[in-house]
Amino acid sequence: MKEETGTSFLSFDGVSKFYLSRGRMLGGSGRQVVALNRLTLDIRKGEIFGLVGESGSGKTTAGRLIVRLEEADRGIISVEGQDVTHLKGKRLKDFRKRVQMIFQDPYQSLNPQLSVLDTVSEPLLIHRVGDRLSRAEMVMNALQSVGLSPPGDFVHRFPHQMSGGQRQRVAIARAMVLRPDFVVADEPTSMLDASISAQIFNILLEMQKSLGITLLFITHSLAAARYLCDRIAVIYRGNLMELGPADDVIQRSRHPYTRALIDALPKFGQCGETERFNTFLKAERESSSTVGCAFFGRCSIANRILCSQEVPPFKTVSPGRRVACFFAEEQGKNLTASKTCHYGI
Amino acid sequence: MALLEVEDLSIGYRTRLGLHRAVEGVSFSLEEGKSLGFVGESGCGKTTVGMSLMGLLPRNGEVLRGRVLFEGRDILSISEEELRLLRWKKISMIFQAAMNALNPVKKVADQISEAILAHSSSVPKAEASRQVEGLFQLVGVPKERMRDYPHQYSGGMKQRAVIAMALACKPRLIIADEPTTALDVIVQAQILEETRLLQEQLGISIIFISHDISIVADVCHDIGIMYAGELVEYGSREEVFDSPAHPYTRALLSSFPTLTGNREMLKPIPGEPPNLVDPPKGCRFRERCQEASHECSLISPAWTELFPRHKVRCIRFERKKGPQ
């Protein structure tokens, strides 16, 4: 993206991923589900980039493609100019040392039979880093940096002896212990208490600052994204809808889907009369999955003919700001929330 | 008279390590047609309170003390058979993780009509399925989907079906335990809105249980904040949100971001809740409290009434009020 500044660290170039629905596997006619549709975006070195959307939007798929839990069907993913889309063997292993993932559910992502020490030192063993003593030291440091202190109290614990928040910290320590350049955090707080989420967010912010790690933060909450991210992209059914600096996308949203996500956030505090955008249709209208705008079926401002037939281009509306909507320029209304209104994460 | 009156309810779980005092001296009342939200971290006892109202405590759980008056009758001392008659007809529940609350090998409509038939033997089958149709309409699931199995439903539709089931016998009270936790932000907003409308239209009382204070903000008339088994603040939604008094409530509120203005650092609550097998003396929140003083470790704070519908258990307010 030439109009933007900052060095690109990771880029998606026309990346698509398809899944076959189950019918096919059972010998039926089967339907192809498009999880990602020609995703193109850049994540800059050192930033926290937010990918925001509801379940089924393809946001998790995008993360899994990066760490190569899945392979893209089309397009190129590159890291610092190097094509990593289909790496294999030793090169893939070396790549994975640089790119780590934090999963959604710390109740499932940790092996119940491994102690914290074993869990966090496993990546070091796999990548043959250091000797026993230096590995133990690296584990201690990693635990300390995620706020599990004193680390000596935690190294011999097993997952069932820890709270959800503590488990997720262990998962973060495990991702960070190799000092990766890039980390994918896939809804790292959705299984945790709301009051614990802030702790996890602050740890991620600290990681970005002190270690210079680039982060992809995947979430369904624009409020969480605004707190953590430098830039965000909003994605719906595999298609990018809106992209830009976090504050700008949220406070001056131009896409009706972004606005639906803002309307949906629960809020409290001195919110006053926050005006709603009401861009989301209660009853989904019939739409084609192959032609027209992906959001047509749910959009209250759609033009029935234009939007059902043509895919809106992902056009630049201002420097660094892109929106895939025919009516982006006409959406003048900005967010009117007060500064004392708090939103759910 | 209030529909539900809970007095000094204490509940414990027998564990290998000793008696886990999950709920300690909880009192509240709920008027007909009102909604009350219980908020607190996992392990604070909010689900245990809900389960005890349904008489559904696990085997090792035991009510140690207190009374639960529903329609004026103490439901803790009635027989299992009387309780069975009360359950679902008068008090029903929307369970946590709705996806697992439905039977996977039975059609959704059949499961709901089963609930109706089990509780009103006089209703003919045809009438029951007519009622189910009405319920589907009420919660916004298209009636073509009545004969589907749960796995054919999306998460939001399953949640709606579970709500329909809770409404099946026209109860007076519904206990909703984290009804939106596994749902997406957009579906969550729809379910919350629908719950609020249903509650207004049908005049049902609801107890809403959540770890997320932002969820109950829109739905509940009154809010109770629970910490480590105890109720620490209780009041109308407006009072609690506009002038939160307990340090824990204020800490909970400050862990949520804003969308406008400067991005201020969120201040998470440090530490972990105490072990309830051997709960600390004095105020249970004191170890994590920014404002704790030496006194907090000595005295267990009593309720202080700040306004007629707003009370708090924190020693700072006792002192301010002075001896009566």
pLDDT tens-digit readout, B148-170: 999 898 888 898 899 999 999 99
Q: What is the mean pLDDT of residues A272-291?
A: 84
State residue A2's pLDDT score. Answer: 43
- Residue B170 CA, distance from chain mean position: 19
Can you list the pairs that B246-250 forms with residues at least 24 positions away whose Cβ atoms lie under 8 Å?
B246/B285, B246/B312, B246/B313, B246/B314, B247/B285, B247/B289, B247/B290, B247/B291, B247/B314, B248/B285, B248/B288, B248/B289, B249/B225
- Residue B130 CA, distance from chain mean position: 30
Say if residue A304's pLDDT is above 50: yes
**A 183-212 residues with CB < 8 A to B:** 193-199, 201-202
Q: What percent of chain A has pLDDT over 90?
A: 81
- Among B123, B231, B125, CA closest to B170: B123
- Rounded distance between C-alpha atoms, residue A270 and residue A314, angstroms: 36
Verify cis geometry, omega within 30 degrees of 0, for the bond prior to A150: yes
State residue B122's pLDDT score. Answer: 86
Q: What is the helix (H) or strand (E) element at residue A13, kind and residue range?
A: strand A8-20
Q: What percent of chain B has pLDDT over 70?
A: 98
- Among A189, A246, A198, A191, CA closest to A48: A246
State residue A5's pLDDT score. Answer: 63
Mark yes or no for CB contact B255/A194 under 8 Å.
yes
- Rounded distance between C-alpha atoms, residue A125 and residue B171, angstroms: 58
Nearest CB partner across the interface for B253, out of A223, A263, A342: A342
- Cβ neighbors of B292 (< 8 A, separation 6 or more) are B283, B285, B286
Say if residue A25's pLDDT is above 60: no
Return mean pLDDT, chain A: 92
- Among A35, A175, A207, CA closest to A100: A175
Reported ipTM: the value is 0.88
Rg (alpha carbons) of chain B, rounded to whole number: 21
Please return the burial class of A58, using the count of CB atoms within 10 Å of its CB with bins 0-12, 13-18 and 19+: buried
Return mean pLDDT, chain B: 91
- Residue B217 CA, distance from chain mean position: 13
Say if residue A269's pLDDT is above 90: no
State residue A3's pLDDT score. Answer: 44
Say if residue A129's pLDDT is above 90: yes
Q: How confident is the model at residue A28 (pLDDT cuts 50, 70, 90)?
A: low
Which amino acid is present at A132?
R
State residue A126's pLDDT score. Answer: 96
Chain B contact for A286 (CB, 8 A cutoff): no
- Rounded distance between C-alpha atoms, residue A299 and residue A282, angstroms: 9
Query: Do the Cβ atoms of A130 and A171 come closer than 8 Å?
Result: no
Mark yes or no for CB contact A266/B258 under 8 Å.
no
Rg (alpha carbons) of chain A, rounded to whole number: 21
* Minimal CA separation from A92 to chain B, in Å: 34
- Rounded distance between C-alpha atoms, residue A42 and residue A44, angstroms: 6
Q: Which residues of A113-128 are buried (b: 16+ CB within 10 A; e: fewer)?
A: eebbbebbbbbbeeee
By C-alpha distance, the chain B residue nearest A163 is: B272
- Rounded distance between C-alpha atoms, residue B49 and residue A286, angstroms: 44
Say if residue B124's pLDDT is above 60: yes
In total, the C-beta contacts within 8 angstroms joining chain A to chain B are 127
* Minimal CA separation from A285 to chain B, in Å: 14
Q: Express each pLDDT in B171-216 by its tens digit.
A: 999 999 998 877 888 889 988 988 888 889 989 999 999 999 999 9
Strands (E) across chain B are located at: 4-15, 18-30, 35-39, 61-70, 73-74, 91-94, 173-177, 205-210, 222-227, 230-236, 304-307, 310-312
Tally of CA atoms within 13 A in the half-sphere of B193 that contains its CB = 14
Name the pTM for this structure: 0.92
Q: Which of B186, B190, B232, B275 to mutate to test the interface with A (most CBs of A within 10 A)?
A: B186
* Minimal CA separation from A122 to chain B, in Å: 27
Q: Express each pLDDT in B214-269 by its tens digit.
A: 999 888 999 999 999 999 999 999 999 999 999 999 999 989 999 998 888 998 88
Mean pLDDT lowest among A14-18, B27-31, B270-274: B270-274
Q: Express each pLDDT in A149-201 by its tens digit.
A: 899 999 999 999 999 999 999 999 999 999 999 999 999 998 898 889 999 99
- Terminal-residue alpha carbon distance, chain B: 28
Q: Which two tokens stand for residue A57?
A: 């939007």
Q: What number of other Cβ atoms are within 10 A of residue B135's Cβ?
A: 23
Cβ contacts of B228 on chain A, cutoff 8 Å? none
- Rounded distance between C-alpha atoms, residue B3 and residue B31, angstroms: 5
DSSP labels, A91-136? HHHHHHHHEEEE-S-TTTSS-TTS-HHHHHHHHHHHTT-S-HHHHH
Mark yes or no for CB contact B192/A266 under 8 Å.
yes
Query: Do the Cβ atoms of A213 and A177 come closer than 8 Å?
Result: no
DSSP labels, B28-59? EEE-TT-EEEEE--TTSSHHHHHHHHTT---T
Say if residue B323's pLDDT is above 60: no
Say if residue A1's pLDDT is above 70: no
Q: What is the mean pLDDT of residues A114-124?
A: 97
Say if residue B107's pLDDT is above 70: yes
Chain B contact for A335 (CB, 8 A cutoff): yes
Mark yes or no for CB contact A266/B212 under 8 Å.
yes
Q: What is the mean pLDDT of residues B120-129?
A: 88
Query: Do the Cβ atoms of A225 and A208 come closer than 8 Å?
Result: no
Q: Which two tokens stand for residue B56?
A: 């559904």
DSSP state at residue A187: S
Chain B contact for A55 (CB, 8 A cutoff): yes
- Among B66, B8, B12, CA closest to B276: B12
- Rounded distance between C-alpha atoms, residue B104 and residue B158, angstroms: 11
Can you list the pairs that B299-307 forms with residues at least 24 positions away whose Cβ atoms lie under 8 Å?
B306/B235, B306/B239, B306/B243, B306/B245, B307/B235, B307/B239
- Terminal-residue alpha carbon distance, chain A: 30
- Cβ neighbors of B197 (< 8 A, separation 6 or more) are none
- Rounded distance between C-alpha atoms, residue A284 and residue A278, angstroms: 14
Cβ contacts of B252 on chain A, cutoff 8 Å? 194-195
Query: Do the Cβ atoms of A331 and A254 come closer than 8 Å?
Result: yes
Say if residue B135's pLDDT is above 60: yes
State residue B97's pLDDT score. Answer: 74
